[in-house]
Structure formats: C-alpha cells, structure tokens
C-alpha cells in the first residue's frame, strides 16, 4: 500500500549528463534504443541568469540551473526543492586551499557560493521567484529524500512543486573521497493535476525489507547510475520515458528503499 493514495504527476522532466544534455538527446538511451557512453561533460551556459550573476556561478550551480530552467516550462514561480549530496566541491576545494595560505582571504563571491542553497538562491533570482525553496542532502540517498520532500509539499500544500537534483564531480584532491565521478542532474515539475503532457504518476512508500535497489533497464547506464548519487534516479527516468508502469526501489536512509509506484 502506498502512503500517498493520490498519485503525484511528473508533468515536466529534464536531465543533464554526459551525452544526455536535455530530454531529446537522452530519450533514445532512456528508452533502451541506444547505448550510453561517457564523454567529457560540456560547459553549460544558463541563459536565465543575467550575465553579471552568471559570471559568478560555478559548473555545479550552472548544472542545477540548466535542468531547473528546462523543467520549468511555463515560467511559473513554483515552490522548489533542491537536492544535492555533496554540495559544490569546486568551492570547497578553492576555499580550503585559500585557508592554508596567508592571508586567509575568501572572496565574497566564493563565500556566498559556499552555502548549500547557492543554486536555489541563483534560481530564485533567475526565475524572479519569491516562492519557498529548500536545499537538502542525505548523502547517497539524496535523490529519494528530495523526491519525498517534494511529494510531501505537493500533497500538503496542494500546489505544483519544482524538484531539482544534481551533483557534480570533485576536483583533486577531493575526488578520491567522493561518490560523484560523473556529472548528473534531473528536474521535474510535480503536480496533483494530470495534464495531457504528464509523463507519469507516482506514489511513494518506504520498505525496510531487504530488497535490492532497482537497476537500469538499459544496462549501458549502470556505470552512470553508480557514478553519482542523483543518477539513482535513472530507473525512474527510464520507466517514465518508456511510459511503463513499474514498481521501483530507490536507495533510502538506513538501507531502506523508497518504493516508487509508477503509473500512467
């Protein structure tokens, strides 16, 4: 039995990963027609931000803004949930390196970019959105926790919510200590209202039974699934894009699984 008995609909969908920048490019892979292979991740240029703000953003922030902009098709000012396991490694690396030097000078831009909600703050400026916005992490299970948070917002506030999840690989020397080796981001608009363009409905529950996490149907995506905590969303993205009903088990806290029932 699912806890949210009313389905929540995925009404828009975006993705960014190597060789999958945007849904159009990703669709043949997510529907199993072609194989995925890795490639250098391109430089993204979020057009939504004014040039002066854009200059201050990092690759990590640009990744989040890119998928958020693509998912927010109707330019609505929606409540937003931002989820990232690790935060901005580039900023952590730069600041911690600076702190070993004399004088210890952290630039104001680096400092405000160091907060976990930097992408959310830039997004609010870009989208001119005064709506509530949160920024969360639960490490390896961050995608599931963010989805759960977004769904509770849709259910309790009865309004559409923008969900944005992203992690970007670390530069050396932090790269050896992180679970993000590929860039990956995805974003949805979640809603109680089914529209003609809805991709799927989802219902969530949690199981503590010892069930293995769902694997990608397209096995060429498995290395990507295991190279970024947010890429644990791939089995869900595949089900949604192939318009299949499915019951998926995504990693959640304390070795439990988030059960995602995907319906049409």
Partner 1 sequence: MPISPLIITASSMINALGRGKNATLAALLNNHSGLQLSSNLDFSTWLGQVEGVNDYPLEDSLLTFNCRNNQLAKMTLDSDDFRDAINKAKVKYGADRIGVFLGSSTSGSEETEKAYLQRNEQGELPADYDFMHTHNFTSLLDYTQQSLGLTGVGQVISTACSSSAKVFSAAHRHIESGFCDAAIVGGVDTITQVSLYGFHSLQLTSTEPCRPCDENRDGISIGEAAGFALLETTSNVTSSDLNIMLKGYGESSDAYHMSSPHPEGRGAADAMRKALANADLSTDEIDYVNLHGTGTPANDAAEDKAVTNIFGSQTPCSSTKGWTGHTLGAAGITEALICMLILENQFLPANLNLKARDPALHMNILLENLTQENSITEQSIKNVITNSFGFGGSNCSLILGLKQ
Contact with partner 1 (CB under 8 A) among 19, 31, 59, 114: 114
Q: Is 128 in the site for partner 1 (CB under 8 A)?
A: yes
Is 106 an interacting residue with respect to partner 1 (CB under 8 A)? yes
Among 104, 196, 209, 212, binds partner 1 (CB under 8 A): 104
From the CB of 73, what's the least distance to partner 1, in Å?
Answer: 19
| Residues 70 to 89 in contact with partner 1, rule: CB under 8 A | 85-87
Please enumerate, as own/partner, the contacts of 99-102 that have beta carbons within 8 Å and a separation of 24 or more: none
Burial 145-161 (b: 16+ CB within 10 A, else e): bbbbbbbbbbbeeeebb
CB-count burial class (<10 Å; 0-12, 13-18, 19+) for 262: buried
- 22: phi then psi, degrees, rounded to nearest 5: 95, 155
In angstroms, give the least distance from the CB of 151 to partner 1: 7
Q: Give the separation between CA 123 and CA 75, rounded to whole angstroms.
A: 12
CA 21 vs. chain centroid, Å, equals 13
33 DSSP 8-state letter? S
If you ran DSSP here, which 8-state letter would residue 218 be given? S
Among 151, 202, 240, 248, binds partner 1 (CB under 8 A): 151
How many residues are there in the chain? Answer: 264
Binding residue (CB under 8 A) for partner 1 from 11, 58, 72, 138: 138
Which is closer to partner 1, CB of 87 or CB of 216?
A: 87
Among 45, 73, 125, 211, binds partner 1 (CB under 8 A): 125
- Alpha carbons 87 and 137: distance in angstroms, whole number: 8
Residues between 6 and 45 with contacts to partner 1, criterion CB under 8 A: none
Report if residue 95 touches partner 1, rule: CB under 8 A: yes
Summarize as ranges the residues that interact with partner 1 (CB under 8 A): 3-4, 56, 85-87, 92, 95-97, 99-100, 103-108, 110-118, 120-122, 124-125, 127-142, 145, 148-149, 151-153, 155-158, 172-174, 176-179, 206, 208, 253-254, 256
């Amino acid at each position: 039995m699912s806890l949210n008995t009313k389905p929540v609909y995925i009404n828009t969908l975006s993705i960014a990963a190597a060789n999958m920048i945007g849904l159009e490019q990703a669709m043949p892979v997510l529907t199993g027609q072609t194989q995925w292979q890795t490639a250098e991740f391109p430089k993204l240029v979020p057009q939504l931000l004014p040039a002066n703000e854009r200059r201050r953003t990092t690759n990590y922030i640009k990744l989040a803004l890119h998928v958020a902009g693509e998912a927010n098709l109707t330019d609505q000012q929606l409540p937003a949930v931002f989820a990232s396991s690790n935060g901005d490694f580039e900023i952590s690396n730069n600041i911690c390196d600076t702190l070993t030097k004399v004088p210890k000078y952290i630039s104001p831009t680096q400092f405000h970019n160091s907060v976990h909600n930097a992408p959310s703050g830039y997004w609010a400026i870009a989208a001119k959105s005064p709506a509530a916005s949160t920024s969360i992490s639960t490490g390896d299970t961050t995608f599931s926790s963010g989805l759960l948070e977004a769904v509770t917002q849709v259910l309790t506030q009865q309004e559409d919510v923008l969900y944005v999840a992203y992690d970007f690989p670390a530069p050396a020397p932090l790269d050896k200590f992180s679970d993000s080796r590929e860039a990956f981001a995805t974003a949805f608009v979640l809603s109680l209202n089914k529209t003609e363009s809805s991709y799927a409905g989802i219902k969530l529950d949690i199981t503590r039974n010892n069930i293995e996490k769902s694997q990608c149907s397209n096995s060429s995506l498995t290395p990507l699934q295991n190279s970024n905590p947010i890429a644990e969303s791939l089995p869900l993205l595949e089900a949604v894009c192939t318009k299949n009903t499915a019951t998926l088990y995504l990693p959640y806290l304390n070795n439990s699984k988030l059960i995602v029932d995907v319906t049409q």
